[in-house]
Amino acid sequence: MTGADPFLEHRGERPCVEIPIEATLAEWGEVNALVGELLEWLGRREVPLAGAPFYRYHVIGDETTPFELVVGVPTEGRLAGDDRVRPGTIPDGTYAVLIHEGHPDQLEAQHAALEAWAEADGHELARRTENGKTVWTGRYEHYRTDPTEEPDPAEWTTEIATLVRDDFPEGVSAPTRRALAGAGYSRLEQLDGADPAEIEALHGIGPSVLETLRESLESAGFNFSGSGDGD
């Protein structure tokens, strides 16, 4: 089973601590063990958790080709690391999000479903190709369920969140990007033909922001409805 439909959400930057690892599916026990190691590391320093443990995938592998990822835990502030644990950052940006309710064995299919949804809705997931590999900018699994409290994996909740490219002007603030994401927009061209009154009515968008968006649309060959005059 799974949870609600996918959605967009703009998020701020968050500090974390993490351990990088490369492992095949046959070696996945080594990956899972890092969660406990990080929790013990934080416990020795009396640092409380600031969110669910996560896996951040850089390169997807399989039974014989290693995955390249980090295992991490969010923290309230940036911590000093050591020769094993390093400080890191969950980047800000707009994410395509899907909440999965069920066994982690189903996560591969849920990632595929999220990718299909993003493509159908015109959202471009942030990734690039390096040396023949697809490298993800921000592909996350956040494990919301504590296995010590709910031992049945079929009852676990996992949040899949993948960073999306947005090409809104640099001057567009985080609150504005949050409002646009909440309305389902991640790219400037998706605003082509949109009602400017409806866009301006979004929280965090006023006349000056609307004008910035209008100018950017026109520069890219697009426009709001009403021939760009907002009438």
Determine the average pLDDT of the residues in 29-51: 97
- Residue 71's identity, in one-letter code, is V
Q: What is the pLDDT of residues 130-159, one digit of tens each?
A: 999 999 999 999 999 999 999 999 999 999
Total number of domains constituting the chain = 2
Of 41, 54, 29, 30, nearest to 138 by C-alpha is 54
Q: Is residue 231 part of a domain?
A: no
Q: What is the 3-state secondary structure (H, E, C) of 191-206?
A: HCCCCHHHHHCCCCCC
Report the CATH number that the domain containing residue 202 is assigned in CATH.
Answer: 1.10.150
- Shared domain for 24 and 110, answered yes or no, is yes
**pLDDT class for 169, splitting at 50, 70, 90?**
confident
pLDDT tens digits for range 15-24: 999 999 999 9
**Is residue 36 helix, strand or coil?**
helix
Residue 132 domain flag: yes
Assess whether 112 and 185 both reside in one domain.
Answer: no
Give yes or no for residue 189 having a pLDDT over 50: yes
**Rounded mean pLDDT of 38-47?**
97
Residues 48 and 106 in one domain: yes
Residue 1 in any domain: the answer is: no
CA 122, 127, 129, 135 torsion: positive or negative? Answer: negative
Q: What are phi and psi of 139, to 5 degrees?
A: -115, 110
Is the pLDDT confidence value at 1 over 60? no
Task: Assign 213 to helix, strand or coil.
Answer: helix
How far apart are the C-alpha atoms of 113 and 152, rounded to whole Å?
Answer: 24
**Same-domain pairing of 64 and 146:** yes
Q: Is position 227 within any domain?
A: no
Whether residue 129 sits in one domain with residue 17: yes
Same domain, 159 and 178: no
**61 with 156, same domain?**
yes
Output the CA torsion 167→168→171→176 (10° steps).
-140
Mean pLDDT, rounded, for 122-127: 97
Report the relative pairing of strands 139-143 and 157-164 from DSSP bridges.
antiparallel
With CA atoms as reference, report the closest residue to 210 among 192, 231, 230. Answer: 230
Q: 230 lies in a domain?
A: no
Q: What is the 3-state secondary structure (H, E, C) of 209-225?
A: HHHHHHHHHHHCCCCCC
Question: Tell me, what CATH number does 147's domain have?
Answer: 3.20.80.10
pTM of the entire predicted model: 0.93
Provide the sign of the torsion angle of the four alpha carbons 49, 110, 153, 99, taken in this order.
Answer: positive
Confidence check: pLDDT of 231 > 60:
no
Q: 194 and 83, same structural domain?
A: no
**Which structural domain range is residue 186 located in?**
174-219
What does the alpha-carbon distance between residue 195 and residue 184 come to, in Å, rounded to a whole number?
14
Q: Residue 29 — very low, low, confident or very high, per pLDDT cuts 50/70/90? A: very high
